[in-house]
Structure 1
């Protein structure tokens, strides 16, 4: 039976608005329902309404086309070329190489290649010690100097990369070229790694 009086309507409205306050369970249930509704609206509204302007389809290095929806002002179609994405990080900034670092690299390779017949590992390491990082000395202790083909340095060192406190230097020997990494420490420039380059 329909409600025909204002008093009847007021009573119905009072029951509806009062329902959440009847018990803590009703209040929590109401808050959960409201939260779900707001979340659903927040997710669905942008999809339904869209952004003012329209849709933009693009890819790296391609042109982007903008089209406006009917009923939206300024129905202009334009294309713009997007800049390409960086495929690799920019190279590290280079600084003028420190001559002391270059000198240490050359002296280290000279000592590394100096291993006359009968030289023990201890004698060979002694020649490298003053120019080698302490931690790297432990790795070098496993090297047998008899297995090193080079016997002397035959060219001037060439700086490959140079930063504020580190650099990589190539030193040519009578056999392989040796690439040495040197780092500036509190004790001065020290070698932290070497690689033989064929």
Structure 2
């Protein structure tokens, strides 16, 4: 017999909504049923709505775009044209531009080396680093703060600085000392030339 009153319908709705809460078994059964329904919809709906268009494969590092135009009946359709669009990866990487050695960069390297070999007995890292702070990039200072000046054997610069390589924004300078020869990298920070790295060359 059909339900003809609102009270009767409300009672039926309460029974339906309350069914999963009657016991853990009912709750688990309801969850499994809903999972099956959702999975089935996910499989059936794409087939009903139609398959999505697939991209045309092209050359690596490029995106292919296919264009077609509609033609009146009786006229052969044109062959689809494929245009290759360049991507960021297809652009060649820029290489540093060689340039004549900058005298200021060479002078900064020699001043930095002179401060590097200046480490009297008992000097702290902070005092030693203060002599190079104005000549060093902010990014390289934390690495220099880990150096113990007592472990540096060189005590003086023994010759003129020579340029090993030179670019528009960086210069590598060799400075001889009475210990190891220093290979010092000087970069143009925009606020002046500063030392960004060094190594002990043979």
User: TM-score, with normalisation over the residues of structure 1?
Assistant: 0.54
Q: Cα RMSD over matched residues?
A: 2.5
Q: Are the equivalent residues in 1 in contact too, given 2:118–2:155 (CA < 8 A)?
A: yes
**Deviation string, structure 1 residues 108-162 (Cα, Å, up to 9, x no partner):** 0100110011111010010010000011001111000000111111110010110
The number of residue pairs the alignment matches comes to: 115
Within 2, Cα distance between the matches of 1:147 and 1:175?
A: 11
Q: Are the equivalent residues in 1 in contact too, given 2:99–2:168 (CA < 8 A)?
A: yes
SS of the aligned residue for 1:139 comes to helix
Tell me the residue number matched to 1:122: 126
Alignment of 1:47-58 (within 5 A): none
SS of the aligned residue for 1:153 comes to coil
Are residue 188 (structure 1) and residue 192 (structure 2) matched?
yes
Tell me the residue number matched to 1:52: none
Alignment of 1:68-79 (within 5 A): none
SS of the aligned residue for 2:140 comes to helix
Are residue 145 (structure 1) and residue 149 (structure 2) matched?
yes
Within 2, Cα distance between the matches of 1:154 and 1:94?
A: 28
Give the counterpart of 2:180 among 176, 183, 187: 176
Within 2, Cα distance between the matches of 1:158 and 1:123?
A: 28
Give the counterpart of 2:108 among 94, 104, 107: 104
Q: CA deviation at 1:94?
A: 2.2
Within 2, Cα distance between the matches of 1:92 and 1:193?
A: 18
Unpaired runs of at least 5, structure 1: 1-24, 29-90
SS of the aligned residue for 1:134 comes to coil
Runs (4+) of structure 1 exceeding 4 A deviation are none
User: TM-score, with normalisation over the residues of structure 2?
Assistant: 0.53
**Deviation string, structure 1 residues 5-45 (Cα, Å, up to 9, x no partner):** xxxxxxxxxxxxxxxxxxxx9xx9xxxxxxxxxxxxxxxxx
Q: Are the equivalent residues in 1 in contact too, given 2:97–2:168 (CA < 8 A)?
A: no
Within 2, Cα distance between the matches of 1:96 and 1:175?
A: 29
Within 2, Cα distance between the matches of 1:124 and 1:155?
A: 22
Tell me the residue number matched to 1:158: 162
